[in-house]
Amino acid sequence: TFNGTWKVDRNDNYDKFMEQMGINVVKRKLAAHDNLKITIEQNGDKFHVKESSNFRTLEIDFTLGVNFEYSLADGTEVSGTWTMEGDMLKGSFTRKDNGKTLTTTRIVQGDELVQSYNYEGVDAKRIYKRG
Ligand code: MYR
């Protein structure tokens, strides 16, 4: 289950990924240590996610398979969907500024939540622990 509060523990190739996203080095340095914490509440195909970091706090609701809008911490607007494939959440989000697609997955592995990201050929991961 995805339910619970998750705190980022470590990143894998996240700097390169953010660079591919066009984020400048100053913001990347801050984002690498953003203290991101997400609280996930799943009820069937409905999700409520609370996000807090050094940049902001926000809450978002989405339903699997239903398109929604989201703004990344740097203000980049995307729209897309999460779907569930087996035990994995799969997200596909299109940037409004350039039409390019960011894909992401979430899976619980042992006591960790692993979120992977892909944008224009660059893969990254952020790994969370329960907190
Ligand atoms: C949520 O489930 O937490 C809300 C929807 C998230 C959709 C987009 C996730 C991609 C975030 C990428 C951040 C990378 C910034 C360069």
**CB of 104 shorter than 6 A to ligand 1:** yes
pLDDT band at 17 (very low <50, low <70, confident <90, very high): very high
* Per-residue DSSP letter, 60: E
CATH number at 4-130: 2.40.128.20
**Residue with CA nearest ligand 1 atom 1:** 49
**Residue with CA nearest ligand 1 atom 10:** 104
DSSP-derived pairing of the beta strands 101-109 and 46-52: unpaired
- Beta partners for residue 119, in sequence order: 102, 122
**Residue with CA nearest ligand 1 atom 11:** 72
Task: Assign 113 to helix, strand or coil.
Answer: strand
- The pLDDT tens digits of the residues spanning 23-64 come to 999 999 999 999 999 999 999 999 999 999 999 999 999 999
Ligand 1 atom index nearest CA of 21:
16
Task: Assign 27 to helix, strand or coil.
Answer: helix
Query: Ligand 1 centre and the CA of 28: distance in Å?
Result: 15
pLDDT band at 109 (very low <50, low <70, confident <90, very high): very high
Range list of β-strands (E), the chain: 4-12, 37-43, 46-52, 57-63, 68-71, 77-85, 88-95, 101-109, 112-119, 122-130
- The pLDDT tens digits of the residues spanning 62-89 come to 999 999 999 999 999 999 999 999 999 9
- The vertex-12 CA angle with 115 and 3, nearest 5°, equals 25
